[in-house]
Amino acid sequence: MKDGPHIARIAALIGDPGRAEVLTALMADRALTATELAEIAGVTKQTISTHLAKLQDAGLLAMEQQGRHRYFRLADRDVAHLLESLMNVAFRAGAVRLRSSPREPALRRARMCYDHLAGEVGVQFYESLLRQGLVRATPTGVEITPSGAQWFAQVGIDTSALAQQRRMLCRPCLDWSERRHHLGGALGAALLQRLFEGGWAHRPAGSRVVQFTPKGELALREWLAGHHAQHAPR
């Protein structure tokens, strides 16, 4: 007897090299046009149209029309989580690119994992939250402590409002490059947004890389050392 959903079609769609490049590029939670995705995947416009139609039909991509242009993004956070999990397995299995891109070191240091911070800095952030007692690990995931709720409120994050969202409030997300966890969920997304709004970090156009400003680098070092009360993202 065969149980559960049939995964072969989804696995085959993701397994195509061109489609895999498209999905990976969209992990930055930024919509891209078919022309931009064709260039990233190294295929013709006709081929990318076929790829995008198949990914849309399978519910992996969503499309938004603005004037004459159509923009594509991942359908939802479940797709992003699936892709990040596949990256973890691929990295563990040694399925790495023979020739790394110039951005590889920057990606490993800090990058977007759909809408939250990943890479070395993302892991350090999460471990600092645990160490400072702002969140704690539980058998079912991660929860915010009372002192954590107070601190997040001080930096402009309403954890009570986040808890009302349909998505999970906070969860550990296994980082493919660090092999440790960074912070996902609504809290992880809100925290990264505060870093952007506070001038600590920004994203270069068309990249998953997260770059910290000089102000952010200084504050980040002090914050990770435990001086977060004085230097919080505002």
Mean pLDDT confidence for 68-76: 90
pLDDT of residue 229: 47
**pTM of the full predicted structure?**
0.71
Q: Which residues of 37-76 are buried (b: 16+ CB within 10 A; e: fewer)?
A: bbebbebeeeebeebbebbeebebbbeeeeeeeeebbbbe
Chain region(s) in the chain for CATH 1.10.10.10: 8-75
Q: What is the DSSP string of 27-40?
A: GGS--EEHHHHHHH
Pairing between β-strand 111-113 and β-strand 69-74 as defined by DSSP bridges: unpaired
| Dihedral sign for Cα atoms in the order 89, 91, 97, 98 | negative
Residue 73, both tokens:
């993004």
User: Tens of pLDDT along 77-113?
Assistant: 889 888 888 887 877 776 655 455 556 788 889 998 8
| CB atoms inside a 10 Å sphere around CB 210 | 27
Which contacts qualify for 200-205: CB closer than 8 Å, 24 or more apart?
A: 200/233, 201/110, 203/28, 203/112
User: Tens of pLDDT along 26-48?
Assistant: 887 778 899 999 998 999 999 99
Q: How many Å from the N-terminal Cα to the C-terminal Cα in the chain?
A: 56
Written out in words, the top-level CATH class of the domain with range 8-75 is mainly alpha
pLDDT of residue 3: 66
